[in-house]
Structure 1
Amino acid sequence: MRTLVLNAGYEPLAVVSFKRAIVLVMNEKAVVVERVDDDPVWGARGAYERPAVILLTKYVRVPGSRHIPVTRRGVLRRDAHRCGYCGKAASTIDHILPRSRGGADSWENLVACCLRCNNVKGDRTPQEMHWELRVLPRPPRGVQWTVRGTERTDPCWEPYLALAA
């Protein structure tokens, strides 16, 4: 069971385990905003609701821009597992400007790619192949990228995640 953690200003911060959430509530560092309709959790100081969403009692300062690291899984997820050249199912990633020519491992230079297109393209650029990209590769945005654990959301989290979008 997982719990969404909101900052004191109701912005989503993270998704934590049920155990971590109940410890924050028991130590009065958070309050339960949405609860699961189950039996309460009994502690030394009484019963506590089972949290689905908790709100921190003190504001936690978050760094201005959260850097999203470039990963193979992230590029495939950003491009919805579709090839940037032909649109078929993608299982690999491709450097638009090949690494051998100075291409970087960046969100702007990587695109999801099917095996066939990746092998045909090889060490060339899309311009040399007379290919056009179906998508403009850019860094991903949104709460599902900056708040860890929101890939699989709970329906009761939706109002709080929609506020941050």
Structure 2
Amino acid sequence: MPHVLVLNASYEPLGVVPLRRALVLVLENKALCIEESGAFLHSEHQIVPAPSVVRLKRFVRVPYRGPVPLTRRALFARDGGRCMYCGGVATSVDHVIPRSRGGTHAWENVVAACRRCNHLKADKHLREIGWRLRHQPAPPTGLAWRIIGTGHRDPRWLPYLTPYGAEDAMARIDSVADTPAGALTTG
């Protein structure tokens, strides 16, 4: 099911909701459709364009949310779905400093990895096997990461996310994703 970007009355991104929820907001006159997806939804008596971006009519106060939560989906978005060791397609999560050796489950220590690299690395330190990371892992910053971290991306959302760090987020994601897969980097 498609997803829709929800903006506050001030055009600040609030989150991503399923199309059905966004349509209910529009039909109940709680939100305005800002961008349409190009598809149409049919009922017995009317045809409604499917929204891609909606803006709430009333301002909603949002409490401080803290740092971006570390989820598998957000991690794969940060790393562009690529292995941080070889650049191949990532299928698993790896701790750079293994948890068995005191590593933490934090943005700075967790990377996306392919099954092969994750198996070869096992519970070793990178220096023990002579590997290097393609990029230094860091926590994502900016409100746009809360949206991008959901795993749902729509090009029509970019103008509304750009003031909140979307270009930086998209550049980080795309630069890792566009890097050709190569052999393991040795040190």
Q: Name the residue aligned to 1:22.
A: 23
TM-score, normalising length from structure 2?
A: 0.67
Aligned-residue offset at 1:136: 0.6
Query: Equivalents in 2 of 1:150, 1:33: separation in Å?
Result: 21
Query: Equivalents in 2 of 1:91, 1:38: separation in Å?
Result: 32
Question: Would the aligned equivalents of 1:35 and 1:49 in 2 still touch at CA under 8 Å?
Answer: yes
Q: Name the residue aligned to 2:13.
A: 12
* Percent of matched pairs sharing the same residue: 45
Query: Equivalents in 2 of 1:136, 1:68: separation in Å?
Result: 17
Q: Name the residue aligned to 2:185.
A: none
Aligned-residue offset at 1:38: 6.9
Aligned-residue offset at 1:125: 1.0
Question: Would the aligned equivalents of 1:31 and 1:55 in 2 still touch at CA under 8 Å?
Answer: yes
Q: Name the residue aligned to 1:64.
A: 64
Question: Would the aligned equivalents of 2:76 and 2:112 in 1 still touch at CA under 8 Å?
Answer: yes
Question: Would the aligned equivalents of 1:91 and 1:114 in 2 still touch at CA under 8 Å?
Answer: yes
Aligned-residue offset at 1:82: 2.5
Tell me the secondary structure at the aligned position of residue 33 of structure 1. strand
More helix, by proportion: 2
Matches within 5 A, 1:39-50: none
Give the 3 Å change call, closer, same or farther, for CA 57–137 of structure 1 in structure 2: same
Query: Equivalents in 1 of 2:116, 2:39: separation in Å?
Result: 51
Which blocks of at least 5 consecutive residues in structure 2 are unaligned?
166-187
Which blocks of at least 5 consecutive residues in structure 1 are unaligned?
none
Query: Equivalents in 1 of 2:123, 2:38: separation in Å?
Result: 56
Q: Name the residue aligned to 2:53.
A: 53
Q: Name the residue aligned to 1:133.
A: 133
Give the 3 Å change call, closer, same or farther, for CA 35–100 of structure 1 in structure 2: closer
RMSD: 3.3
Question: Would the aligned equivalents of 2:93 and 2:113 in 1 still touch at CA under 8 Å?
Answer: yes
Give the 3 Å change call, closer, same or farther, for CA 116–8 of structure 1 in structure 2: same
TM-score, normalising length from structure 1?
A: 0.74
Write the deviation string for residues 71-103 of structure 1: whole angstroms up to 9, x where unpaired.
Answer: 334333322233322333332222111111121
Q: Which has the larger radius of gyration?
A: 1
Q: Name the residue aligned to 2:169.
A: none
Letter aligned with residue 120 of structure 1 = L
* Number of aligned positions between the proteins: 163
Q: Name the residue aligned to 2:112.
A: 112
